[in-house]
Amino acid sequence: MATSSNQKLKLLYLLKILLEQTDENHVLSMQELLDALAEYGIRAERKTIYADLDLLRRFGFSVEMLKSKTFGYCIDRREFELPELKLLVDAVQSSQLISVRRSNELIAKLGLLTSVHHAKALKRHVVTAKRPKSLNKTTYYSIDAIHEAINSGRKITFCYFDYDMKKKRVYRKNSERYSLTPVTLTWNDDKYYLIGYRKKYDGFSHYRVDRMCQVEVSGDTADRFDRRRFNMADYAKRMFGMFNGELMHATLRFHESLVNVVLDAFGTDTAFRLSDDRFEITVEVSNSPVFLAWMFQFGNKAEIIGPSHLRQAMRDLLELNARQYEQGVEKFQ
């Protein structure tokens, strides 16, 4: 026999049943709704269910009567559409930042945002080229603490580490805690970085969030700095990738097959000078191994035209690597 308290929960249980068991392709008949409520110890009549369905519509839920194999009721529109949830699942599953266990937990929670039928479609098999997952299981909470500190105008403290060859943590500064003013978080090359400000050095520095641990919001007020000096796009350009080093203007020549690659790297407003099946650009780059390696991967389809000392840097790097491999061959022969 149904209890009075259960009867008072009838509308909530009805919503739960519709959210979990129905969608635009799966409906429940009136009798199936009554049977499902009975499993929660709730007896109801058809006319009261009609009234409850109308209440849910008036509140904003998209409750519709549709024909599947038979006529029935469903919630056919939700906050997240199935393609959007699939996209989120793909992002979680392929993220290098999130551990395997945390990925599975998040995907299971995303499944709660749709029907049990659609949730099965969220068991995706994303090809990630065996992308390694983070070994730091606390990254998720570190990000939350950083955001809290930024929003509350506080400093953070944390320990920072590297991995040795046995995959054991080796803490920098002899495990002494870092303390700084968090400025922002940025995503680069599938990794999260914290950009922070240190008043002592009047400068900015960045740290990989997955190499931070024991992140705590400090009781100290964040240091003030001239925000006009900090341009996130500029900082990222200088600190990450091909622009980490001495910046200079260089003239580069590429084969026409590399147009998309060049536009991805330097932007769609990059000016081209065309010559047969080649084109030249003049852009700001750095004299760094990262940039030189980026150019080298294209073989004879890419060439540094100038300045001369950047061409010489490429020659020096190639000669150094050639000697290393020559020595390696001799060593093992």
| Two tokens, residue 224 | 């003030």
DSSP 172: G
CA distance 169 to 70: 60
pLDDT band per the 50, 70, 90 thresholds, residue 328: low
Higher pLDDT, 201 or 133: 201
Residue 309 has pLDDT above 90, yes or no: yes
Write down the pLDDT at residue 327: 65
Query: What is the structure's pLDDT at 244?
Result: 63
Q: Which helix (H) or strand (E) holds 158?
A: strand 154-163
Distances from the Cα of 12 to the Cα of 6, 76, 117, angstroms: 10, 18, 21
Joined tokens for residue 163: 């991995």
Residues ≥6 apart with Cβ < 8 Å to 49: 14, 30, 33, 34
pLDDT for res 298: 94
User: Which runs of consecutive H residues, i.e. helices, occur in the chain?
Assistant: 4-8, 10-21, 30-38, 46-59, 82-94, 100-111, 116-120, 139-152, 232-239, 259-266, 289-296, 308-332
Is 207:160 a contact under the CB 8 Å cutoff? yes
In this prediction, residue 45 carries a pLDDT of: 92
φ and ψ of 3, to 5 deg:
-90, 160
Which of these, 245, 253, 228, 145, lies nearest to 192 by C-alpha position?
A: 145
Please tell me the predicted confidence (pLDDT) of residue 323: 85
pLDDT at site 167: 75
Residue type, 43: R
Q: Quick: pLDDT tens for 219-253.
A: 999 998 887 777 766 676 666 666 666 678 999 99
- Which of the four pLDDT bands, split at 50, 70 and 90, describes residue 72? very high
What span, in angstroms and rounded, lies between the C-alpha atoms of 154 and 200?
Answer: 16
Q: How confident is the model at residue 257 (pLDDT cuts 50, 70, 90)?
A: very high
What is the pLDDT, as a whole number, of residue 181?
94
The reported pLDDT for the residue numbered 294 is: 92
What is the crossing angle of helices 10-21 and 30-38, to 10°?
Answer: 120
- Which tens digits make up the pLDDT trace of 77-102? 999 988 888 888 888 877 766 777 88
* Share of residues in the chain with pLDDT > 90 (%): 47
pLDDT the model gives residue 129: 43
Unique residue bearing structure tokens 């249980």: 13
The predicted model scores a pTM of 0.57
Using CA atoms of 278, 279, 284, 286 in order, give the dihedral in degrees to the nearest 10: 0
Q: Which structure tokens are listed for 273?
A: 């000078």
* Alpha-carbon span 199 to 197, nearest angstrom: 6
* CA-CA-CA-CA dihedral for 278, 284, 288, 289, to nearest 10: -30
pLDDT in tens, 126-182: 444 445 555 556 777 888 899 999 999 999 999 999 888 777 889 999 999 999 999
Neighbours of 138 (CB within 10 A): 17
pLDDT of residue 33: 95
Task: Say whether pLDDT at 330 is over 70.
Answer: no
The predicted structure's pLDDT at residue 268: 78
Give the whole-angstrom CA distance, residue 51 versus residue 138.
Answer: 48
Cβ atoms of 287 and 248 closer than 8 Å: yes
Amino acid at 2: A
- 122 closest CA partner among 90, 86, 93, 87: 86
Summarised one tens digit per residue, pLDDT across range 1-44 is: 445 567 789 999 999 999 999 998 899 999 999 999 999 999 99
Q: Per-residue pLDDT for 107 more than 80?
A: yes
* Mean residue pLDDT across the chain: 85
